[in-house]
């Protein structure tokens, strides 16, 4: 195909041309998708319906669950459908939407994790001013800013990517990913998106530096706490946050660098899974399912017996 004017669809990467392996991929992705969706829906419902969880921390966790739910829903159903129906096709419009919404949700994820780092900083370093600084109005404003900024972030990347003309419609990835689409470009307009990527990396790196500086101050404050149990609880709250942020940032960075290095497809697939699937899978476990209040709310909501709730509550953070 000469350019995007005549392009009506793209061909995505097949996991295998063997029918049995295609069905195996469908089943594995289906199980993974259902687990991620179920876990995040449980968190959303628990925070929504339990009045005890109507606090800033759980408000942020509920929004994080909504972001994770949206992120995996952008590409996993289409990938499963292609494997099930033994096809590789995605429409041009569908590809644009994948780029727009995937970057939208990934950007929202990272921006919200930055906000949550600030929330932890105020809670640990300035606990007496926490309710005044992180009040309901402030939380709504911060989360609204995250969603709006992330949407413009996704729209900027989608516009920059599809401004270019494409010499081929074969995408070397199982969903429409910006680096793989840029490799198909046959015009200098791809430099627009390259500039946007550099600009975006600068913003994300700035957020990462802010998070690191914030956590240096948090850990300094935590080490001054005389109680060993209180220190352990503070570290248990902060370390999962740093783990998820690091996984998202560095895997995303390598995903954009990998096509330039012409690395193996197996390594490329692993890196892609790391930034697109692993964070939505880790977030419910690391942030919520290990949290006693969340477990108690879910136990009540699901109608578990008192003894079952007791077992849940005995699991350490």
- SS3 readout for the chain: CCCHHHCCEEECCCCCCCHHHHHHHHHHHHHHHHHHHHHHHHHHHHHHHCHHHCCHHHHHHHHHHHHHHHHHHHHHHHHHHHHHHCCCEEEHHHHHHHHHHHHHHHHHHHHHHHHHHHHHHHHHHCHHHHHHHCCHHHHHHHHHHHHHHHHHHHHHHHHHHHCCCECCCECCCCCCCHHHHHCCECCCCHHHHHHHHHHHHHHHHHHHHHHHHHHHHHHHHHHCCCCHHHHHHHHHHHHHHHHHHHHHHHHHHHHHHHHHHCCCHHHHHHHHHHHHCHHHHHHHHHHHHCCHHHHHHHHHHHCCCHHHHHHHHHCCC
In a domain, 95, yes or no: yes
Q: What is the pLDDT of residue 314?
A: 36
Provide the number of structural domains found in the chain. Answer: 1
In a domain, 290, yes or no: no
Q: What is the pLDDT of residue 310?
A: 41
Q: What is the pLDDT of residue 258?
A: 62
The candidate with the shortest Cα–Cα distance to 121, out of 213, 51, 194, 184, is: 213
For residue 19, what are the domain limits? 4-279
In a domain, 240, yes or no: yes
Q: What is the pLDDT of residue 94?
A: 94
Average of per-residue pLDDT across 213-217: 88
Average of per-residue pLDDT across 238-246: 77
Q: Picking from 66-75, 186-195, 249-258, which range would have the lowest pLDDT averaged per residue?
A: 249-258
Predicted TM-score (pTM) of this structure? 0.86
Average of per-residue pLDDT across 273-294: 78
In a domain, 226, yes or no: yes
Q: Which domain CATH number covers 162?
A: 1.20.1070.10
Average of per-residue pLDDT across 15-43: 91
In a domain, 254, yes or no: yes
Q: Is the pLDDT of residue 147 over 80?
A: yes
In a domain, 295, yes or no: no
Residue with the larger pLDDT of the pair 271 and 71: 71
**Rounded CA separation 29/168 (Å):** 28
Contacts of residue 287, defined as CB under 8 A and 6 or more positions apart, other chains included, come to: 61, 64, 240, 241, 244
pLDDT tens digit string along 86-102? 899 999 999 999 999 99
**Rounded CA separation 83/85 (Å):** 6
Split at pLDDT 50, 70, 90, the class of 312 is very low
Q: Is the pLDDT of residue 25 over 50?
A: yes
Q: What is the pLDDT of residue 241?
A: 74
Split at pLDDT 50, 70, 90, the class of 259 is low
Split at pLDDT 50, 70, 90, the class of 305 is very low
Split at pLDDT 50, 70, 90, the class of 309 is very low
Split at pLDDT 50, 70, 90, the class of 317 is very low
Q: What is the pLDDT of residue 63?
A: 95
pLDDT tens digit string along 194-205? 788 888 888 888
In a domain, 299, yes or no: no
Residue with the larger pLDDT of the pair 265 and 78: 78
Average of per-residue pLDDT across 97-112: 94
Q: What is the pLDDT of residue 16?
A: 79
Q: What is the pLDDT of residue 257?
A: 65
In a domain, 298, yes or no: no
The candidate with the shortest Cα–Cα distance to 45, out of 292, 236, 288, 309, is: 288
Q: What is the pLDDT of residue 193?
A: 77
């Amino acid at each position: 195909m000469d350019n995007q004017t005549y392009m009506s669809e793209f061909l995505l990467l097949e996991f295998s041309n063997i029918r049995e392996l295609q069905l195996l991929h469908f089943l594995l992705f289906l199980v993974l998708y259902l687990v991620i969706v179920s876990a995040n829906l449980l968190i959303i419902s628990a925070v929504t319906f339990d009045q005890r969880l109507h606090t800033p921390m759980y408000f942020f966790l509920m929004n994080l669950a909504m972001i994770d739910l949206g992120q995996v829903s952008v590409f996993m159903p289409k990938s499963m459908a292609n494997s099930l129906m033994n096809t590789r096709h995605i429409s041009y419009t569908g590809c644009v939407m994948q780029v727009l919404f995937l970057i939208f949700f990934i950007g929202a994820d990272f921006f919200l994790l930055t906000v949550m780092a600030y929330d932890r900083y105020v809670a640990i370093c300035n606990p007496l001013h926490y309710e005044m600084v992180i009040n309901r109005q402030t939380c709504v404003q911060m989360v609204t800013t995250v969603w709006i900024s992330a949407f413009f972030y996704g729209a900027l990347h989608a516009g920059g990517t599809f401004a270019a003309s494409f010499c081929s419609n074969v995408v070397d990835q199982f969903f429409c990913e910006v680096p793989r689409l840029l490799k198909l470009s046959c015009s200098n307009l791809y430099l627009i998106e390259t500039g946007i990527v550099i600009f975006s990396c600068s913003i994300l790196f700035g957020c990462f530096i802010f998070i690191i500086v914030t956590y240096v101050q948090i850990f300094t404050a935590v080490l001054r706490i005389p109680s060993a149990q209180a220190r352990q609880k503070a570290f248990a709250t902060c370390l999962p946050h740093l783990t998820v942020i690091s996984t998202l940032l560095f895997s995303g960075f390598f995903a954009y660098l990998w096509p330039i290095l012409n690395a193996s497809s197996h390594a490329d697939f692993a890196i892609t899974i790391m930034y697109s699937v692993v964070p939505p899978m880790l977030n419910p476990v690391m942030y919520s399912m290990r949290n006693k209040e969340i477990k108690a709310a879910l136990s009540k909501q699901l109608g578990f017996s008192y003894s079952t709730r007791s077992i849940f509550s005995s699991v350490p953070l």
